[in-house]
Amino acid sequence: MSPTTPTILIVGGVAGGASAATRARRMNEHARIVMFEKDAYVSFANCGLPYHLGGEIPDREALLVAKPELFEKRFRIEVRTRTEVLSIDRAARTVQVKDHATGKVSTEHFDKLILAPGAAPIVPSMPGANAKGVFTLRNLDDTDRIAAAMPAAKHAVVVGGGFIGLEVAEQFRHRGMNVTLVEMQPQVLPLLDAEMAEPLHREIETRGVRLELGRGIASIEEKDGAAAAVVLTDGTRVPADLVLLGLGVRPNVKLAQDAGLALGTSGGIATDAHMRTNDTDIYAVGDAAEYAYGPTGGRMRVPLAGPANRTGRLAGEHAATGGAAVAPAAWGTSIVRVFGKTAGITGMSRRAALKAGLDARAVHITANHHAGYFPGAEPMVLKLVYEAATGRVLGAQAVGGAGVDKRLDIIATLLHFHGTVHDLSQLDLAYAPPFGSAKDPVHMAGFAAQNDLAGVSRLLPPDTDLASYQVVDVRSPEESARHPLANAPHAKKIPLEQLRACLGELDATKPTVVSCQTGVRSHIGTRILAQNGFAQVFNLSGAATVRDLALNRSTPTATALPGAVTACGATVSACGATDAGQRIEGDGISAADLGSHIDGPLDLVDVRTGAEFRAAHVRGARHVSLEAVTPEIVRAGRPVAAHGPTFLLCKTGGRARMAASKLRAAGIDCIVVDGGTDACAEAGLPIERDASSKTWSIDRQVRLVAGLMGLVGVSIGYFVHPAGYALAAFVGAGLTFAGLTDFCGMALLLGRCPWNK
């Protein structure tokens, strides 16, 4: 060959292969480039397949990023679909190729060969694995088959709680199916540390998906050749007429292995810094190849689209020109949406770091994604993992709402440059109230990690057994009562503002742990104690919020019955019970059943006027007046530790139902407390009252104003002009309408008056 006119053959036409082909052409106009793809499509958006199944990407054509015609016309790249490379003859520099459309087998010569064969879904060897209705999801043909089966399916079982499994389970639920998610590990997303996966468990169950953790799949029962049920390893039987196997992928390395190419320790094709195999004219990229792995410095498979595209580009350039930049290390940065939650990871979890022999420490930060005083702030939990001796950042995990992606990307960038917690704390980030905080969550994580390493405020993991520690809870009595510190009944409850005055109640010689709700006040508490003679003082990382996630694991719930989905997305069984076991009457929950949950971490919103709320409200409720109710405000104020729906209450239920209608339209799960605060008081729920409040209830104000208007109308009609009777009739009609519809316009108007604020 001429060095300037090589023949470059590429095996695989999706992420890595397509990137290699187009970069090779841009760098060498004279090369001959041929791309073989054994499936029907090249360069399709495989990460978008689940969202097409759920209808979020309605146009199937949108998944075709680049068609063969574009490669051929714009890049002069030969594209051969439905064509499989069967073997490689390294000595002759040829490949044997089969055209599946014609059955013809031919031989092609290469100067450079790029392998991007990808990976295949794992299908276990078990009874029923080949039954009708059992699927894997890898390409558009799979997507078409699943889409064709979905309309008739009522019970779907998704096996595997990784990224694909979570995405597909969400989309099946959006389509109205009863969904069970099965995961052999005790948590979904096993890449995450356990407490960081727990919010996803609660979100999944709240959305009506049955969650089966810590058990695998043993078999699939068939009826007339089609899937009828899934049997788990403990004997549990789950009805299923559609089964999606999302058990991970196995790299397609047979072609390389048969050609004598070396495999690495993780089972992928071994590569060097330029993605070359042990044959320097043959490259490997994508899910079948090994990469430099940033956290450890070793090489391993990282089956993600980002590394495949980036290394494919560099391999294509090197094959076309003989030179290119060294392939960057992969850090495994990944993210997933699970209904209303977002979760992701970059680098190593603490569990993975400890397993790798690293002296890893971690800090948990609970914060809003932008300034809390600006409407729409959404909470997140951020976990930063770092090396004890050097402060080198090893990884991060985050779960919450908006802004999770931004923080992961910031820390992924820091990882790329091998930054430390000290670097993280000094980053100059954009700030304005709608976008962030002056002290961003990543800054706070850096600060806390610095304090930990310097001994200023040493951290204990949130799941630490506290039995041998003196525990000080510096929250208010109300907070401690609402959300007791998990597995610490001996905790001394001393509000932070009283701590200095109560030092005599504590033993300065004992190892002491300080906790609050999120870790901010407990940091101050540790500093007070440390400077008053307490030799061993620790801050509980993440405090009560994260300890709840670490120790109070959610319990799987029963699958809802077919067709039982409320307008707000909460599943309701035929007998009237929600997923969480709450009794529902219409769209509400009784005050008595609410009482069984009032001590747990729930979100209770009182939509009455400010004056009514101040006069008396259920303990633990937060106030958002009806006229101020928006999805953004309700989401922003939601307690981080809360799981399940948002409970809405007013005086009797009418205004709460109006708020529920508005929130459900925005996709927020909410349940009305029937009978409102009156019913809660009758049920014996704790009510906080302000005896000094003189403001009447809205109902009493409506009765007064309506009565006066009616009296004035009759008086005008009798003494002045008959038209006055119209006013009385109007008031009577309004009251009648309010009684029939539970909507009172006069109450809304009165609620805006200054004395009701």
DSSP letter at 263? B
Same domain, 361 and 399: yes
426 residue type, one letter = Q
> pTM, whole model, 2 decimals?
0.73
**Which of 658, 687, 716 is where one domain is finished?**
687
**In 211-278, alpha helices (H):** 254-258
Residue 2 in any domain: the answer is: no
Query: What mean pLDDT do residues 345-369 have?
Result: 93
* Catalytic-residue membership of 47: yes
Structure tokens at 605: 């919103």
For the CA atoms of the chain, what is the radius of gyration? 31
**Which of 213, 247, 281 is where one domain is finished?**
247
Query: What mean pLDDT do residues 716-736 have?
Result: 76
Same domain, 101 and 43: yes
* 689 dihedral zone (left: phi>0; alpha: psi -120 to 50; beta): beta
**Banded model confidence at residue 567, pLDDT cuts 50, 70, 90:** very low
Question: Which pLDDT belongs to residue 555?
Answer: 55
Same domain, 466 and 478: yes
Q: Is 208 exposed, middle or buried (0-12, 13-18, 19+ CB in 10 A)?
A: buried
Of 124-128, 172-176, 359-363, highest mean pLDDT: 359-363
711 residue type, one letter = L
Model confidence pLDDT, tens digit, residues 569-601: 333 232 223 333 333 333 578 787 776 565 556
Pair type for strands 470-473 and 492-493:
parallel
pLDDT of residue 511 exceeding 60: yes
**Which of 247, 271, 294 is where one domain is finished?**
247
Same domain, 115 and 174: no
Q: Is 594 exposed, middle or buried (0-12, 13-18, 19+ CB in 10 A)?
A: buried
Residue 571 in any domain: the answer is: no
Report how far residue 501's alpha carbon sits from residue 494's, in angstroms, rounded to the nearest whole number.
10
Report how far residue 79's alpha carbon sits from residue 95's, in angstroms, rounded to the nearest whole number.
16
Residue 470 or 756, more confident: 470
478 residue type, one letter = E
421 residue type, one letter = V
Question: Which pLDDT belongs to residue 757?
Answer: 57
Question: Which pLDDT belongs to residue 713?
Answer: 75
Percent of the chain at pLDDT exceeding 70: 89
**Residues forming a β-bridge with 687:** 618
Separation in Å, CA 542 to CA 51, 59, 250, 314, 618: 34, 43, 37, 42, 27
Question: Which pLDDT belongs to residue 733?
Answer: 74
Report how far residue 448's alpha carbon sits from residue 517's, in angstroms, rounded to the nearest whole number.
16
Residue 276 in any domain: the answer is: yes
Residue 37 in any domain: the answer is: yes
Q: At what angle do helices 68-75 and 15-27 cross, to 10 degrees?
A: 10
From the list 47, 516, 650, 680, the catalytic residue is: 47
Same domain, 380 and 436: yes
pLDDT of residue 257 exceeding 60: yes
Model confidence pLDDT, tens digit, residues 525-562: 999 999 999 999 999 999 999 999 999 876 544 333 33
Question: Which pLDDT belongs to residue 597?
Answer: 60
Report how far residue 27's alpha carbon sits from residue 19's, in angstroms, rounded to the nearest whole number.
12
Structure tokens at 249: 């992928």
Question: Which pLDDT belongs to residue 312?
Answer: 94
CA angle 536, 541, 545 (to 5 degrees): 130
* Element containing residue 19 per DSSP (H, E): helix 15-27
Range of the structural domain that residue 403 is part of = 340-454
Question: Cα-flanking dihedrals φ and ψ of residue 678, to 5°?
Answer: -60, -45
220 residue type, one letter = I
Query: What mean pLDDT do residues 286-309 have?
Result: 91
Q: What's the farthest any 2 CA atoms get from each other in the chain?
A: 114
SS (H, E, C) 443-486: HHHHHHHHHHHHCCCEEECCCCCCCCCEEEECCCHHHHHHCCCC
Nearest to 469 by CA among 454, 479, 482, 458: 458
**Banded model confidence at residue 691, pLDDT cuts 50, 70, 90:** low
**Banded model confidence at residue 652, pLDDT cuts 50, 70, 90:** confident
**Banded model confidence at residue 754, pLDDT cuts 50, 70, 90:** low
Nearest to 194 by CA among 214, 208, 168, 180: 214
Question: Which pLDDT belongs to residue 578?
Answer: 32
**Banded model confidence at residue 374, pLDDT cuts 50, 70, 90:** confident
Query: What mean pLDDT do residues 378-382 have?
Result: 92
Domain count, the chain: 6
Q: Is 698 exposed, middle or buried (0-12, 13-18, 19+ CB in 10 A)?
A: buried
Question: Which pLDDT belongs to residue 683?
Answer: 77
Same domain, 629 and 681: yes
Question: Cα-flanking dihedrals φ and ψ of residue 603, to 5°?
Answer: -110, 110
Report how far residue 211's alpha carbon sits from residue 36's, in angstroms, rounded to the nearest whole number.
41
Question: Which pLDDT belongs to residue 23?
Answer: 96
Model confidence pLDDT, tens digit, residues 43-83: 888 889 999 999 889 898 888 888 888 999 999 999 999 99
Question: Which pLDDT belongs to residue 740?
Answer: 61
Question: Cα-flanking dihedrals φ and ψ of residue 449, to 5°?
Answer: -65, -40
Contact call for residues 8 and 17 (beta carbons, < 8 A): no
Same domain, 114 and 262: yes
Same domain, 172 and 267: no
Cβ neighbors of 632 (< 8 A, separation 6 or more) are: 375, 376
Q: Which residues of 40-57 are buried (b: 16+ CB within 10 A; e: fewer)?
A: ebbbbbbebbbbbbbeee
Q: What SS3 class is residue 79?
A: strand
Same domain, 418 and 471: no
Residue 555 or 516, more confident: 516
Contact call for residues 99 and 109 (beta carbons, < 8 A): no
Q: What SS3 class is residue 405?
A: helix
Nearest to 231 by CA among 153, 127, 155: 127
Residue 48 in any domain: the answer is: yes
Same domain, 283 and 383: no
Report how far residue 135's alpha carbon sits from residue 653's, in angstroms, rounded to the nearest whole number.
46
CATH code at position 418 = 3.50.50.60
Q: How many CB atoms lie within 10 A of CB 560?
A: 22
pLDDT of residue 284 exceeding 80: yes
Contact call for residues 438 and 416 (beta carbons, < 8 A): no
Contact call for residues 667 and 632 (beta carbons, < 8 A): no
CATH code at position 537 = 3.40.250.10
Structure tokens at 742: 């539970």
Cβ neighbors of 499 (< 8 A, separation 6 or more) are: 472, 474, 525, 528, 529
Residue 567 in any domain: the answer is: no
Residue 293 or 482, more confident: 293
CA angle 705, 743, 748 (to 5 degrees): 50
* 709 dihedral zone (left: phi>0; alpha: psi -120 to 50; beta): alpha
**Banded model confidence at residue 696, pLDDT cuts 50, 70, 90:** low
Residue 359 in any domain: the answer is: yes
Query: What mean pLDDT do residues 624-648 have?
Result: 82
Same domain, 112 and 184: no
Model confidence pLDDT, tens digit, residues 315-325: 999 999 999 99
Same domain, 716 and 733: yes
Residue 578 in any domain: the answer is: no
Nearest to 525 by CA among 316, 670, 516, 517: 516
Q: What SS3 class is residue 219?
A: strand
Nearest to 485 by CA among 529, 545, 554, 539: 545
